[in-house]
Amino acid sequence: MSILGNFLWRPRGVYRSIGEWAVERGGFACLKPLPAGLLDDAAAADRWHLAELPRGKVIGDARLVATADNDVPGQLQALHGDAHPASHWALRQARFRWPRRLYGKAVILASAAGGNYYHWLFDGLPRLHLLKAAGLGWENIDWFLLNEARHRFDIKSMEMLGIPVSRLVRCSKRRVTVADKLIVPPMPSTPPGQIPPWVCEFLRQSFLPAHLVSQPGRRLYLSRRHTSKRRLGNEAAVEQLFRQRGFEVVHPEQLSFRDQVALFAGAAAVVGPHGAAFANLVFAPLDVRVIELFHPKHQEPCYEKIARSLGMTYHRMVGEAPGERAADRSEKLGPYSVAPDELIRLLDSQGL
C-alpha cells in the first residue's frame, strides 16, 4: 500500500456477510459460533458468528469494520441488513483519515447510529451479551469502542456494568482505528428493527436489579418541548390535559441513565410523542399502559415492537400536520398536533 493509501482508506473487497468472507478468504479461524438459541431469523445463520480479526479496523465513526487487508464484511455496522452491501454509500467515502493503533483486544459496541439512545440500548449494549455467549469475559477485553458523540448514557450504563471509563475509546470520523485483535459481535437485531427477546431480557436483568422503585404507579407524559424535530405544536395544551389527569410531565433527556431506568421502573402509564425516550419501556413493569403519538409522515414502529414483545398494553394515535410537504424528510419534520377530544376518548377507554 502507498503512503497515501495509509491515510485515504478504501475497501479492497466487500462480502455479503462475515461467513461469506470466511469462505472466500479462508478466515474460519477468526470466527466463533454463537448459540443458535439467540437467533430468531434462520436466514441469518450464515453470519451468526463473533469475529476476532487480527489487526482489524474500524473505519471512521464506527461506519464500517474491515480486516487487516481492508476487506469489508456485510451485515455489520452501516451495512447491517443491506441485501447488496457492495453498493452502500459508506464504501465510497474517500475521506482522509489518520490511523490510530490500539494495543491488545478491542471490542466494538458502537453501531453506525449508536449516538442515538435507542440504538445504544438495542444495538450497542446487547453486543456485550454476545461477547459472553461466545465465551469471552468482559474482564479480558482491553478496550471497548464507542461512537464519537459523547453522551452520559453510554458512559454511565457501562459503569453500572462494572466497565470503567478508562477502558472506553471513542471512534472518530477522522481516524481508522486499528486493534491488535478487533472483536466484532454481530448486530443483535435479525432482521434490523426486529428486537429478539433475549435483548430485552439482557437489558432488564442488567439494570433493573440495581433499582428500588420508591414511587410505583407513576403516570408519565414524555415531553418533546425541548426538541426541534417532530414536536407537538399544541404541546402546552396537551401537557395541561395530562397534568389534569394526574400525569407527571417529564423530560427524560435531562435525566441520568440511572434515573431514567428508575423512573420507568415505577411507571404505570407512559404517553408521549414518538422519540428515543420510549426506548426506556424496556425497563417498565410489564403491565404498563403505553400510548404513543405520531407525526403522520413518521410512524416508526420500533417502540411498539418493544412493548408488544414484552406483553405491554400499547396504543398509537396519529396526529395532523397539514403544512408538511410530501418531500420533507422524516427526521426533519416540523411540529404536528393531536386533537385533545380524541386524546381524551383514548385515555378514557384505557381508564387513564
Is 169 found in the same domain as 275? no
Question: Of 208, 233, 254, which residue is a domain's last?
Answer: 208
Domain end, chosen from 167, 188, 208, is at 208
CA distances from 301 to 195, 306, 316, 322 (A): 11, 9, 10, 22
Each residue's pLDDT tens digit in the chain (352 positions)? 445 555 678 889 999 888 889 999 999 899 998 887 776 655 556 567 899 999 999 999 998 999 999 999 988 888 887 878 888 888 887 777 889 999 999 999 998 776 789 999 999 999 999 999 999 999 999 999 999 988 889 999 999 999 999 999 999 999 999 999 999 998 887 677 788 899 999 999 999 976 666 678 999 999 988 777 788 889 899 999 999 999 999 999 999 999 999 999 999 999 999 999 999 999 999 999 999 999 988 899 999 999 999 999 999 999 998 776 655 666 667 888 999 999 999 999 999 8
Radius of gyration of the chain (CA): 22
Please indicate, yes or no, whether residues 185 and 325 belong to a single structural domain of this protein.
no
Q: Provide the CATH number for the domain around residue 335.
A: 3.40.50
**Do 50 and 124 sit in the same domain of this protein?**
yes
Verify that 303 and 158 share a domain, yes or no: no
- Same domain? For 243 and 176 the reply is no
Same domain, 38 and 159: yes
Residues 87 and 20 in one domain: yes
What is the pTM (predicted TM-score) of this model?
0.90
- β partners of residue 337: 320
Task: Report the first-to-last Cα separation within the chain, whole angstroms.
Answer: 65
Closest by CA to 44, choosing from 183, 184, 189, 182, is: 189
What size, in residues, is the chain? 352
Among residues 93, 68, 63, the alpha carbon closest in space to that of 80 is found at 63
**Cis status of the peptide bond prior to 35, with omega within 30 of 0:** no
Domain extent at residue 329? 217-349
Q: Are 201 and 259 within one domain? A: no
Residues 231 and 180 in one domain: no
**Cβ atoms within 10 Å, residue 330:** 13
- Domain closes at, from 161, 191, 208: 208
For residues 195 and 232, state if they share a domain.
Answer: no
Does one domain contain both 254 and 161?
A: no
Same domain (yes/no): 290, 199 = no
Q: How many domains does the chain have?
A: 2
Three-state DSSP class for residue 222: strand
